[in-house]
Amino acid sequence: MIDSDREEPCAAPAVPAGMAPDVAGYAWARDTIGEAGAAVYRLSGKPGAPDLYLKHGRDAVADAIAEEMARLRWLAGRLPVPRLVRFDCTADEAWLLTTAITGRTAYQVLASDPAGRPAVVDALAVFLRRLHAIPVAACPFIGDHVHRLAIARARIDAGLVDAGDFDEERAGWTAEQVWEGLQGLVPFAADPVVAHGDCSLDNLIVERHAVVGSIDVGRAGVADRYQDLAILWNCLDEFGPAMQRRLFRAYGIATPDERKLRFHLMLDELF
């Protein structure tokens, strides 16, 4: 079934020959919400077959897709993530085909079920605790703020930061102003965990008030725990400060670190 809130039916795009049998017989729809630069398609309606997702991109986006593929392989068995069906690439393109996770995004559930919001927020906290409990020593991927600051500086220099998409708090700022603001918030004592890296309400899948899966894991790696907490806390602003406070209480933090919240939200503006 096509989700008309975020998908548009479309014709099947060209795929590598080896992937063609995997995608035959499906109805296609292109995602209209994602902001990562990749073309994202949902494949549905094939009798007796699971729904699938296909990501396709070129150049730097292809590199990001390859990074997501590697993280999906590593996270399998550790966290509920989409199953990798096939990955294909050339020198400058990449295609990632995965199974869909049954359920709705946490945002969709929170928006449609006000009475269920406390239970959903509690479930988000449970999921984060589970993710952050994965042993750091086992994780081969780095996503800490030092690494991300270097990438952010390169993105600023290349003119890749969209200042028009900044949060309301920083509306009218330039990317350089965000960068300068970040310098006033470091250094800080990192508390490393295995982090999702882009832990928004659109990237967590919920069913029956439980988180049943996580998607878009291309930034997963060892990072300060506030990398995830800050983004999720910020997403919950739309549903009120009570839900934001509840997230931290359910996670187990009595008094959030305001400095880290500001830092990670400002850093996220540059991606």
Among 96, 50, 107, smallest CA distance to 71 is for 96
Whole-number Cα distances in Å, 44 to 23, 53, 66: 10, 9, 24
198 as an active site residue: the answer is yes
φ and ψ at residue 96, rounded to 5 degrees: -125, 115
d(CA 120, CA 114): 10
Contacts of 188 (CB under 8 A, 6+ apart): 224, 259, 260, 263
Q: Which residue of the set 5, 22, 198, 224 is catalytic?
A: 198
Would you state the structure tokens that stand for residue 251, as one six-digit string?
């996670």
Backbone torsions φ then ψ of 219, nearest 5 degrees: -105, 5
Which residues are identified as catalytic?
Answer: 198
